[in-house]
Structure 1
């Protein structure tokens, strides 16, 4: 049975569903918590409430189920990604706050520290996602979080670049589990009209973590020389203290995936309902890895083009993730900025990223009726303008600041790219896991070496090669998105389906 119908709208127990963009869901929870079948009736339009939040026009039973799911999955996902970015980006804040001078890091050591983390991250991603199709996510993901939290404590006692290289590699290896793993979990629970908002809310916590790291560094810098630690060393200690309890909470909050969930907050009927939702969505359950499956995955355009899309997005954003704004401020002599200002002013970029990410999610789900490519194209265009301006460099000071800040509009597209991948690979669970892992992995394969070429520390703060590269990668992202749109539209047409590709 195909659950995609030609442009027709129906109501499922009071839930309005546009079948041109969303699959039919014929089952809901009954008022007594049992799974029951309902008659599908025609309905002219979806309710306006769904444009605010997708559960507002669904039945009370489905709202209650989704509230529990959101409370558990999104809470852990956002907090976990917050600490991941907190522990990933703290090296940049520490570097401009005394670590450079204390450890004598006057060459390209910062680049090497970032590369060591990236190498560990790349090695771990796809194997970790494959493990998640066989091991409970509620065990594997929190365990890796605990490990990287402990390693973050250890960085505070490093007294040489080489010891930091080793720890950064291990932290990257442990962190490789989290983002692709949680995207896989989110894609295993939510329907198409629910997916982009959750993926993007999840992604915004990375920007919050990056912002908070700057504020935290500004605060703990004043703890310098207390307890025998410098201010930058206290940053790693406090990060570890924040991270460890969040990591431990995952053992209790993560619901695994629907077919094996044992979450304490779901009733047996709700667990059964979760499986039916995904079945009617067309989202495949876990299946064995076979030679035929691997051949299908690696001979399809999906894994290559989706990975290219994410690689160009991720590496174009290096103009934000690299401490370019902070180094521009630190290099300024008129006026001269304080350590606190150098750490806090660049957080405005992440504020823009947070707002733009949420706008992309809501417009993609509602205004564009499930299409993911329009916000991706918009974010790419803004990035091209900003990075091209910074590459020119000799521009008014106000526009210089605006370019750094507005570049955050290109950093909020990760959730949309991942949501798109879940939808495109919906009929094969293992393909979905491998594609999501490969998308993130290819992005970080490039991130492992590209900064050593175009974001060299000795080029700070102008980074001409880096900004030109980011502008070109943003253009590549736009092209990739448009090609994916065409190919997916053709595939849906061959299968007799209608998808949200407008």
Structure 2
């Protein structure tokens, strides 16, 4: 483990390392934000972090945001659109057309989840060796093409197979882009970017509902049902975005060759990460490396936090709101449109979490994570009780996805905690997502069976405990991180 006076830098750029006295975010108080090298922080940075920085750094960040955040956000929109479109299609005629009256929806989700979790860790490990501008767009093209093939399915088995391979192709995108974002942004910038990126998943969920309402007008055109047109349009939207990634993705600072960055901006990117103490490429996955990673609390605590978050927020990925509306007798348009309000709530809270974490709490990630878990515990406990006033039940469903936005903060926290080791950071970020989906592959079959819809008593009770676990892990990780920082300050080894 590097000491405070010996910042970790890529092996090919070590001779350009910042002076030993340069502050490192990873060796300062974990709840503080690095001050810009141009001067003290002013009120303008509460609006947007780059406003306190030099003109050169502002231009660089403006370019980076315009390209990286735009591509990441649009990519996550189409990824989430292609991920959740099965739920929209299922409640919009696919169930009846294909005779899916058992637990087929659960199995479709499980097949996607199995493919997704198999690919995540290998994909992120690969990103430390190959260019993200090649690997990530290739995955996008693959899942976009596979999505349109769902229109040709005539039974559940065919859907299971395609969903598995769609999940496998999609597995590299979210943890991969979170890794890439963590390679470019400093601590005072990272929370907002990670959350803004994540928010586009909720926008994709909203768009899927609106799109399903719109494509109902195409029902019967050229022999396709409305739900089949949903898959066709998904692919038409996705492919151009995927192909654009081959040309605009900047890779990571160590190896970037982005045409839209000048030589000075590329060097600025590398300098910013060295000042931040965030290690670049240069390491390898040796036996000693794996031993270091798997004997550190980083891997286990951050992964457990994400397991609690991912399986305890947003009705644990189930179309619970839609199925309740359908059981109440609402038509297809309402079943698809009304739940988009919950997705809109997710977007609003995501932005609130991002700005309060970066600005109000000065880079602390745990307050928003703990608050979201506590609030969701109350909402899910109410839905578990079920016999509650109708207005409060609507509020519970609409607010039930308010915790989704803390995902970006969890990843930002992981980047900051694992700053010293690029390979550990890539593996931990992937493991967080993968292990969450390992649990999601089997837990819904036990506690969210389709045949118990819309009440899902076991599902909501289980979610309350997961929400409580999220709160507990937020405080535990804060304690462990502060203790690690104190050990580093005293020169005590914390590798274990």
With normalisation by structure 1, the TM-score equals: 0.91
Q: Are 2:303 and 1:303 aligned?
A: no
| Pick aligned residue for 1:331 from 327, 333, 336 | 327
Q: Which residue of 1 aligns with 2:13?
A: none
| Pick aligned residue for 1:175 from 159, 170, 179 | 170
SS of residue matched to 2:50: coil
SS of residue matched to 1:68: helix
Distance in 2 separating the partners of 1:184 and 1:439: 12
Offset at 1:318? Answer: 4.8
SS of residue matched to 2:402: helix
CA contact (8 A) 1:353 1:409 kept: yes
Alignment of 1:226-375 (within 5 A): 226-286=221-281, 287-319=283-315, 321-332=317-328, 336-375=329-368
Q: Which residue of 1 aligns with 2:405?
A: 412
Structure 1 stretch 404-413 or stretch 173-182: which is displaced more? 404-413
Q: Which has the higher contact order (CA 8 A, sep 6+)?
A: 2
Q: Which residue of 2 aligns with 1:448?
A: 441
Offset at 1:470? Answer: 1.0
Aligned in 2, Cα 1:24/1:366: closer, same or farther, shift over 3 Å?
Answer: closer
Alignment of 1:21-32 (within 5 A): 21-23=32-34
With normalisation by structure 2, the TM-score equals: 0.92
Q: Are 2:77 and 1:79 aligned?
A: no
Residues 14-61 of structure 1 deviation map (CA, whole Å, 9 limit, x = unaligned): xxxxx75244776xxxxxxxxxxxxx8xx6x51100000000111111
Aligned in 2, Cα 1:24/1:429: closer, same or farther, shift over 3 Å?
Answer: farther
SS of residue matched to 2:237: helix
Distance in 2 separating the partners of 1:454 and 1:157: 31
Aligned in 2, Cα 1:208/1:3: closer, same or farther, shift over 3 Å?
Answer: farther
Distance in 1 separating the partners of 2:54 and 2:249: 25
Offset at 1:321? Answer: 2.6
Aligned in 2, Cα 1:95/1:64: closer, same or farther, shift over 3 Å?
Answer: same
Distance in 2 separating the partners of 1:127 and 1:221: 39
Q: Which residue of 2 aligns with 1:397?
A: 390
Q: Are 2:482 and 1:482 aligned?
A: no
CA contact (8 A) 1:3 1:281 kept: no
Distance in 1 separating the partners of 2:92 and 2:463: 26
Aligned in 2, Cα 1:359/1:318: closer, same or farther, shift over 3 Å?
Answer: closer
Distance in 2 separating the partners of 1:188 and 1:217: 37
Residues 438-469 of structure 1 deviation map (CA, whole Å, 9 limit, x = unaligned): 00000000010011111100000000001111
Q: Which residue of 1 aligns with 2:207?
A: 212
Q: Are 2:151 and 1:156 aligned?
A: yes
| Pick aligned residue for 1:462 from 441, 455, 468 | 455
- Structure 1 unaligned regions, length at least 5: 6-18, 27-39, 498-502
Q: Which residue of 1 aligns with 2:4?
A: 2
Give the length in aligned residue pairs.
467
Offset at 1:378? Answer: 0.7
Residues 166-199 of structure 1 deviation map (CA, whole Å, 9 limit, x = unaligned): 0000000000010000000000000000000000
SS of residue matched to 2:363: coil
| Pick aligned residue for 2:135 from 116, 135, 140 | 140
CA contact (8 A) 1:320 1:407 kept: no
- Structure 2 unaligned regions, length at least 5: 8-27, 491-496
Aligned in 2, Cα 1:289/1:222: closer, same or farther, shift over 3 Å?
Answer: same
Distance in 2 separating the partners of 1:342 and 1:25: 49
| Pick aligned residue for 2:190 from 192, 195, 206 | 195
Q: Which residue of 2 aligns with 1:58?
A: 53
Offset at 1:352? Answer: 0.5
Aligned in 2, Cα 1:368/1:23: closer, same or farther, shift over 3 Å?
Answer: closer
Query: What is the root-mean-square deviation of aligned Cα atoms in Å?
Result: 1.7
SS of residue matched to 1:259: coil
Distance in 1 separating the partners of 2:200 and 2:165: 22
SS of residue matched to 1:410: coil
Aligned in 2, Cα 1:108/1:272: closer, same or farther, shift over 3 Å?
Answer: same
Offset at 1:2? Answer: 2.8
